[in-house]
Each structure stands twice: as structure tokens, then as C-alpha cells.
Structure 1
Amino acid sequence: MSDCRRQWNREDELPVYLAKPISAGPNQRHKSHGMFSSVEGACDSKTIDFDQYAVGRKGNRSSRSSSRERIVDGDFEAYEISGGTISSPGERDDGRPGVEITDQTEKECRYEQNNGKSERLLIKGGRVVNDDQSLYADVYVEDGIIKQVGENLIVPGGVKVIEANGCKVIPGGIDVNTCLHKPYLGTPPVDDFYQGTKAALAGGTTMIIDHVTPQPGDSLLEAFEKWQEAADKKSCCDYSLHVDIPHWHEGVKEELEQLVQEKGINSFQVYMAYKGLFQMPDSQLYEAFSFLKELGAVVLVHAENGDLIAQEQSKILGMGITAPDGHPLSRPEELEAEAVFRAITLGNRVNCPVYITKVMSKGAADTVTNARKKGSVVFGEPITASLATDGSHYWSKNWAKAAAYVTSPPLSTDPTTPDHLHSLLALEYNIFEGMECRGGPVYVVSQGRIVFEEGKLQVQQWTGRFISRKPFPDIAYQRIKYRNRVMSKQGVSRGMYDGPVYDIPATPKYITPAPSAKTSPTTHQPPPIRNLHQSNFSLSGAQIDDNIPRRSSHRIVAPPGGRSNITSLG
């Protein structure tokens, strides 16, 4: 990461295509999700060179990787297994790993697919990394399914053997937040399903989950079918879909039910930001959370306080700030943290699993962490940008460089945020902490076929499969079911009341009549209800001289106590 940051520090090192706001090149890239950064070296130091740590560490398994080690800038070049298969990187002029891409013809691809169904792979001598442990073992794959894991496996003939040479054998990655078909201001992204999934496979990612983003008023089902059709035609790897809900109303419930029960969708995104477009008030969020819980879906939340952001934007624009630095100024970190807390609170009241997308700041991350410690079913998703860099670049004097970092929520301006987010991802202890390594996949297997080998990427459009996801996923709803039992609300059980019962007559409400010129309120006597405003009650009581007529006023000449002159006081 330090190398990446260092490359950005000097303005004169900025690539030519970011030297001005508008690219003059024919392939101008469209930044559709705030994640894309076309910067040389941006992918360096993102993976770990396991080769020098994984060889010959256990039992009698000897190192078989010595013949493949090469010295590059004083370090071993990476040889890593990703996705269940292995391939070797190609070479570039600078000695760093490169990728050669080969697009197969439809005839070649169909031939491979027909034979690939019976293709058998044996990965020998690798260190298998599972979710609970890692161990040296061989892996036998048949028809795209791992059949055996262990040593000295008995396998049938005709098996293709891949020598792992002590490298890590790890599951293929899943990118859970992509937007490869989402237009922005009417402009489609350059990296569509074909380009995006092809790049994913080259890096060891063997599945993506893309966002279906219908516009307000559009049918969710029609948008889903449009996305699925595009992915079926172009995707090179397995994929699934989230569906965003741009507006909540009664008519959307039927479509949501159909998407969950018939289309294999179990995650839907709602927005607390983008006032006037996608933002939902708390009352609608409560309804959406409640209904999606009944369907067994997971609620994805874009958490920012849209109302306050709109006010801050007006203020910043009024100050004449229209450059990229106005973006973080109008979206302070506490607006993200507040919205995250509010989303978790709504989820707790409904007892619905909540998934916070794009956790960008310390405050938001700590809010998620503290809620999980208290038992809330909430998940936080940091992204590559928030883990790798910070928002200091928003104040770069180079407009294009500053704009390249714009995403919502914005990157934190606190330079310690990436390390803080990394610390929350670590379970207990990271054995690779402090190491700076370079690495990449050597072989990549997708659907039981080798798609990346010897520096060559061999992929074809329309080979990706849609992966249906069932409702009530265990990772979220096992805890929800337990919380339902523990937190169920019910009245206090009491016996029959056997005490005295009194009938209290209802007191009619007296309305004072409106005064008029001909009548007086005293002529309309009120009901026999005491009205203190009209009471003739006197503290004097009955007196013995009540029968003697009295004057209305009387001048007192000699008051009791004698006369006094107030001017003589003091």
C-alpha cells in the first residue's frame, strides 16, 4: 500500500490520461461506482507472496518450487494458486508478472465445455487454505466439484496433474459489490460484464454479485431481467445479483416476493442518501425492513444522512466551492456514522439482518463493531478504496487526480483510517503483519476448467452461470431465529382481579357559550357542573349586616393607622 500512496504524492508523476479533466483518448473510462482508479501500479502490493513462506514447512513434504523461483528486485516472484487451479505469470519488459489474454472462438469454447464436463484435475503439493485451517494436501477435482482432499489420493486415469510446488491453494474470490451494467447520467460503463469478469478471473476472482439499479418508477422485475440478459451474454465467470429498491410503495411488494421465491435473489439495497431520488424516510425503511425479513432477505443499506447532506451541499455551493474537495466537506464523517447507527437501530427493532455497504470512516466502522458486540445482526463492508488509501487527495491541485478519488460515502480524510479498518478485519493475530509482498495467481480454475495458465487467460463470453441464492441464509438468519425466541414480546400474565369495582359516570364536557350583543353568558345557565370561572363563592361568608344597603364606593378620610406622607420616607 505504501508504494501505491507514494506514486500519487508528486503531481509530475501523474499519468497522462489523468492530467486534465477530459481524456482525449479513444477509450475514455467511465467511473461508475467510485471504485475505479486507472493508475499505474495501483494493483501492486495488494496480494501476498506466499511462495517463500509455504514451501517445505510440514512433514516430509519437500519443496518443489526451487526450480520455479526467480529473483525480481531482490524478492521472490509470486507463485500462488487461486480458485482451485494454477498457472504461471507471463513476463513484461520490467520483469513483473503480466497477463496474455486469449479470446476463444465459440466453436473452441463449446468443444472445451463438452470435454470440460469430464475433465479431471489433480493439484499436487499445495498448501490448502480452508476457513478453519491450512494443511499440505492434494486436491482432486472432477466435473467442477472437489471430490477428494488429502495425501496419496487414489484417482482414475486420464487426470491432468498440476504441480503446486508448495503454493497456496485457496478458494476463488467473490466480489460482492460490482456495478458493471449501471449507467451514470446516461453513460454506460466501459468495463461491462465481459471486461469486468475477464479481469476478475485474471486476478483469481471467480464470482461477482452485481447491482441491479432500476430508476424510480421502473419495474424491479424488468430491470432484473435486463441485467440477467446482459450478464448471460457477456459474463465469463459465475455471477449473482443484488436488486436496489429506488422507491418504496405497496406495489413493489409483489415484485419483491417474486424475485425472492422465483428468481433466486435474497439481497436488496435501500438508500438513506440521495434526497429526492433514492432516499427513503425512516417510516418507509421500517416497512421495507419488516417486509424483507418476512421474505428471508438481507437488507443492504447505503448509510448516509441524506437530509443533512442536502443542507451541507447548499452551504458549500453557496461558498463557491464546486471542485472535488467540496465532496467531503458536504459529507462529514459523522453523517455516515449517524446513518449507520440509525440503520442498525431500525434493524434491531424489526429484528432483521442489516448489511452496511461501503464502510468508509472510523466512526461508521466502530458503530458496526460495537453493535455486533451487543448482539446486533449487522455486517459491515469495507471496500478496497477505504482499506488502501484516504481522502487527502481531494485537496490535490490537480483536478483530475482529486476527482479520481470521489466516491460516496467519501474517503476519510483521516490518514489512519485504512489501518483502523484493517485492524477490525483481523480476527486475532495476522502473521503477515508488517510484510510488504507482491503476488498474483499462477493458475485459476473456474467451473472445473483452467482459465488462467502460463500467463495466458483463456475465457469466452456467455460462459458465466447465474447463481441462485436461497432465502433465509444461515449466516444471518440463524441468529435472527435465536433473537426471535429471546426477544419475543408478550404481556404480563396476571390472575383475575377480585377487588372492588366502581362505576364512574362519564363527565360531559361543558362548552362556554359565545357572548353576543343581545344575550349574556349568565342568561344561559350551565349544567350542574361546577365552573370555577363563574363561581360566586366568597371567602367572607354570611355577615350580620348583609341586609343594610351599601354605597358602591366610600371615600376614606382617616384611614386606620393614621395618615402618612410617602415623600417623608427614607
Structure 2
Amino acid sequence: MSNSGSMRILIKGGKVVNDDVTQEADVYIENGTIQQVGRELMIPGGAKVIDASGKLVMPGGIDTSVHLQQNFMNARSQDDFYSGTKAALLGGTTMVISLVLPDKDSSLVEAYEKVRSLADPKTCCDYSLHVGVTRWGPKVRAEMESLVRERGVNSFQMFMAYKDTLMLRDSELYQSLLSCKDIGAVARIHAENGELVAEGSKEALDLGISGPEGMEISRPEEVTKETERENGTAHCPMNLVNVSSMSAGDVIAAAKMQGKVVYGETSVAHAVLSGMQYYHKDWAHAANHVLAPPLRLDPSTPNYLMGLLGNDTLSTVASDHRPFSTKQRSLGKDDFTKIPHGVAGVQDRMSVIWERGVVGGKMDENRFVAVTSSNAAKIYNLYPRKGRIIPGADADLLVWDPDQTRTISVTTQAQGGDFNLYEGLRCHGVPLVTISRGRLVCENGAFMCAEGSGKFYPLRTFPDYLYKKMVQREKVHPHTHAVRFVVVKTLTSPKGGVLGTSSWEETSE
């Protein structure tokens, strides 16, 4: 019964929360879609009635950054598409977008097809795929067009970090952005300067800094701040991901004030934890917090980033879920650059953001829906099929108890890994019921969903939320592309010396 798309469900007596309004209403679901929203509904018999009195009824979460069954830095992430999507559903997330990460010399299409073959038999919820662009040339551009036209991809991720493996040179990045604009795709940018990170890492190791604290020392805020400032100049709708610092957030705020079509995505870890974790006396504890960009030492950073989520400077918060075991992290026991980057969080994202965001006074329930679901749906052209509770939308919903609490622990998690970043955190806000495409998949902690019952969700190009703004901006500023400029930055080392400089040049087509 739980896997039947034709199941009839009436959610009765709750408050329906969308990103712009909260209203008392019942919700009737049939054939996998929301059929009616309102009071005194006329519905056919035989529906399962869920009592939501005193509870909130919200769109299911959309996690835009997960890395399931992914090989990275000589290790494979601990969750496959079954365990990862199971954990997502248990935590209140009903759709994930995972990253396809091609090797430097491999085909984008072949890498995509390989991930589809791994995911389709296992996933429990709807999923889509971003595809990484790790090199550039005519073949890559042609494959991007093929993925967009024939395979339901509408987003590509480019890296300015990971020199010699994932990083694109400045000219390659610029060409990839132009291609994204031409084909109507969303450009996702991991904004760290790979050259300066490589120099900083070498110098830290030369100084005898080999532990996890080397991550923060070798990747100071300036590496991301200036890189994101450069990206703010490109004339392509962009989603800057893994925003980790106050200064990087300020760069996005300034770009938005100038009317640029730039959206920021942070992760739960960056919005909750500080970089002091890297100095923990237990190496394993410190190493289990390694991700890129790193957590920041300034203890006020998480509170600041949560505030930026609350005021719409940052649009979305993802889990960036890529768990590794402590044993896998021991690859970098004597060299922090070899610790695989990634943390777990797909199961805890919703509850942690509710606790620190809503209970913490940084946002209301409507803004919570925006940053965990609706904005992601808008950016990736899912809205209003997903991210909103209205007739005709996919029946991806939660019955959320804002007063019930749970204490996070690695001993009770469904997600992979042997460590939990939020161990012992007592969270208000628990999904009592999770419904995915009209299927009752979780109820009071019980999981009722068959492996492989989820579906790949093809994404359409030219999302209005991004491209309408860009088209209007170009009408107002028709000579935007005639601008030519160079940005040069200098970064100092841990000893105060100059690590190097980097420049960005843009010319008209």
C-alpha cells in the first residue's frame, strides 16, 4: 500500500505552510498529486485520513547537493542511492540532486549513464543529477548540449579548486559559463582558487602542519571571497555553492544589490559549526569535519550565514552529503591534503535548520520552506510541481511537528558513516509523516518504501526564476557584454609572505 501512487490520502486539521503564506487547510492527495487544498473538502470514500491537528503541513525538502555512491579523493562515499535516499526521506527530504563527477579525461555522457545505472534500481525518492565539467573543449560543449536536450540535465558544476583533477582554468570556466547561458542551464560554481590552495597547502606542510587544521590554514576566507567576487561579474545565471564565510556572503549580497543574477547556497555544516573543530585533541573528531571549503574559525560565522539565509541573501541550504568513514579519512593521517573531503547530513538537514533557523529566531516557517525546498524548486525549474502545496503539484509533503524533539546521534542515524557532526544536538521539529509522490513512505519513524521505487526527474532548461531576470537586465543594460576588465588578487601565506596572484579577464563575444 505504501508504494502505490494511486493511494488516497486526506491530511486533515493542519496548517499548510508555503514559502509565502500559512493557512489552515486540509490537503487531499490522489494518483500521486495534490488534488484539493482547503476546508470542507468533498472527497471520495476510502481515503486514509492523517490527523495533522496542531501540526504543520509543508512541502517536502529538496536537497540540491548530495554525492551518493561517489568516488572522490581515493575513497567512495558511504551511502549508495538506497541508503542515502532512505535517510533523506526519514529526515523530511523528498527529492535530492546528486552530482555526477566525471574523471578529467572521461566522457560527461558516459559518466551520467553510469550514475543512472547505479541510481535507478536503488533510489527511494525522486532524484535528478547535476553534471560536473572538469575539462573543456568542443566535445565537452557538445556533450553538455546532449545532456540538456536528451537526458534531462539542466545544471552543470564547475570547480575553481582541486588543481590537476577537477579545476578549470579561468578561460575554460568562462567558456563553460557562456555555454550554460546558450543552452539555458544553471551554472553551479565551487568557488575556491585552486592555484592558491595548492600553494597554501604546500607551505603549511613545509611548516610541519599536517593535521586537519591545515585545511583552514591553507584555505583562508580570501581564497573564496575574491573568487566569488570574480564570479559575480559573469553574465550567466549562477548558483555559487558551498558559501562558507561572512565575506563570501557579503560579496553575494553586493552582487545582488547590483542586479546580478547570482544565487548563493550554503551547507548545514557551514551554517551551524565553526572551524575550531579542526583543533580538537582527537584527530578522528577533527578529521571527520573536513570538507571544502572548510569550516571557518570565526565563531560568529555560522550565525551570520544563518542570518543570510533568513534575509534572502543566500537562497538555499544543502547537506553537501558525502560521508566517509574514519578509516577512509585515515588516508590523510600524516597529510591533511589526503583526507577525503565530505560530511554526512542528508538525514539531519531539515531538523537542524529548523532548530538553528526557526527556533533560533533567524527565520519563520515560510522562510524555512523557501530555503529547504521552494527556492531550490524555482532555481532548478521544478516549481510549482515541487516546492509548493497547491492542486496539481506532486504530492511531496511532510506533516511536521514543531514541538516534538529528537536528539541526533550516530547510533540512530540511517545515513552512512560512523560519525555525526551534530552528535547530541537536541532539535525541535520532527517529520511525523513523509509522503513522496503520493506514497506514504515514513510514519512516526517507520520506513515503508521499497528499494528502487523512486524515479529520475528530468529537469527543463531556462528556468524563469533565473533567466527572466537576466533577459530583463540585458534589455536595460544592452551593452553589458562590451565590458572588459581584469581582477587581480594577492593572498598572503601563514607566515605573512605572498603565496601568489590570480587574475580574471572577461571580454565581449
Do the two structures share a fold, i.e. TM-score over 0.5? Answer: yes
Q: Which letter does structure 2 place at the counterpart of 1:462?
A: G
Partner of 2:432: 442
Are 1:381 and 2:269 an aligned pair?
A: no
Q: Which letter does structure 1 place at the counterpart of 2:298?
A: D
Partner of 1:363: 247
Asked if the contact 2:157–2:189 (Cα under 8 Å) also holds between the matched residues in 1, the reply is yes
Asked if the contact 2:99–2:130 (Cα under 8 Å) also holds between the matched residues in 1, the reply is yes
Partner of 2:298: 414
Q: Which letter does structure 1 place at the counterpart of 2:53?
A: N
Partner of 1:469: 459
TM-score by length of 2: 0.71
Once residues 417 and 399 of structure 1 are traced to their aligned partners in structure 2, the CA distance between those partners, rounded to angstroms, is: 23
Once residues 405 and 327 of structure 1 are traced to their aligned partners in structure 2, the CA distance between those partners, rounded to angstroms, is: 10
1:240-259 paired onto structure 2 within 5 Å: 240-259=128-147
Distance apart, 1:439 and its partner CA: 2.6
Partner of 2:285: 401
Are 1:485 and 2:373 an aligned pair?
A: no
Q: Which letter does structure 2 place at the counterpart of 1:453?
A: E
Task: Describe the superposition over 1:307-363 as per-residue Cα deviations: whole angstroms up to 9, x where unpaired.
Answer: 111111121111121111111111111111011111112x2xxx2011111000111
Q: 1:491 to 1:274 in 2, by over 3 A?
A: closer
Are 1:353 and 2:237 an aligned pair?
A: yes
Which structure: greater strand fraction?
2
Asked if the contact 2:181–2:236 (Cα under 8 Å) also holds between the matched residues in 1, the reply is yes
Distance apart, 1:112 and its partner CA: 5.5
Once residues 135 and 292 of structure 1 are traced to their aligned partners in structure 2, the CA distance between those partners, rounded to angstroms, is: 39
TM-score by length of 1: 0.64
Once residues 491 and 180 of structure 1 are traced to their aligned partners in structure 2, the CA distance between those partners, rounded to angstroms, is: 38
3-state DSSP class of the match of 1:442?
Answer: strand
1:278-317 paired onto structure 2 within 5 Å: 278-317=166-205
Count residues with an aligned counterpart: 375
Q: 1:400 to 1:175 in 2, by over 3 A?
A: same
Q: Which letter does structure 2 place at the counterpart of 1:159?
A: A
Out of 321-330 and 276-285, give the one that drifted further: 276-285
Task: Describe the superposition over 1:360-387 as per-residue Cα deviations: whole angstroms up to 9, x where unpaired.
Answer: 0111111111111110111111101011
- Percent identity over the alignment is 44
Unaligned runs of 5+ in 1: 1-110, 493-570
Are 1:220 and 2:108 an aligned pair?
A: yes
Q: 1:422 to 1:246 in 2, by over 3 A?
A: same
Distance apart, 1:388 and its partner CA: 1.0
Asked if the contact 2:90–2:445 (Cα under 8 Å) also holds between the matched residues in 1, the reply is no
Q: Which letter does structure 2 place at the counterpart of 1:478?
A: K
1:4-19 paired onto structure 2 within 5 Å: none
Partner of 2:69: 181
Partner of 2:93: 205
3-state DSSP class of the match of 2:448?
Answer: strand
Once residues 151 and 213 of structure 1 are traced to their aligned partners in structure 2, the CA distance between those partners, rounded to angstroms, is: 47
Q: 1:185 to 1:434 in 2, by over 3 A?
A: closer
Distance apart, 1:437 and its partner CA: 5.2
Highest RCO, 1 vs 2 (Cα 8 Å, sep ≥ 6)? 2
For the pair shown, the structure with the greater C-alpha radius of gyration is 1
Q: 1:222 to 1:431 in 2, by over 3 A?
A: closer
Are 1:147 and 2:45 an aligned pair?
A: no
Q: 1:392 to 1:162 in 2, by over 3 A?
A: same
Task: Describe the superposition over 1:43-86 as per-residue Cα deviations: whole angstroms up to 9, x where unpaired.
Answer: xxxxxxxxxxxxxxxxxxxxxxxxxxxxxxxxxxxxxxxxxxxx
3-state DSSP class of the match of 2:266?
Answer: coil
Once residues 132 and 424 of structure 1 are traced to their aligned partners in structure 2, the CA distance between those partners, rounded to angstroms, is: 18
Q: 1:491 to 1:388 in 2, by over 3 A?
A: closer
Unaligned runs of 5+ in 2: 313-356, 363-425, 483-509
Q: 1:462 to 1:325 in 2, by over 3 A?
A: same
Are 1:325 and 2:213 an aligned pair?
A: yes
3-state DSSP class of the match of 1:461?
Answer: coil
Q: Which letter does structure 2 place at the counterpart of 1:425?
A: L
Once residues 481 and 26 of structure 2 are traced to their aligned partners in structure 1, the CA distance between those partners, rounded to angstroms, is: 59
Once residues 249 and 60 of structure 2 are traced to their aligned partners in structure 1, the CA distance between those partners, rounded to angstroms, is: 26
Task: Describe the superposition over 1:395-420 as per-residue Cα deviations: whole angstroms up to 9, x where unpaired.
Answer: 12211111111111111110000110
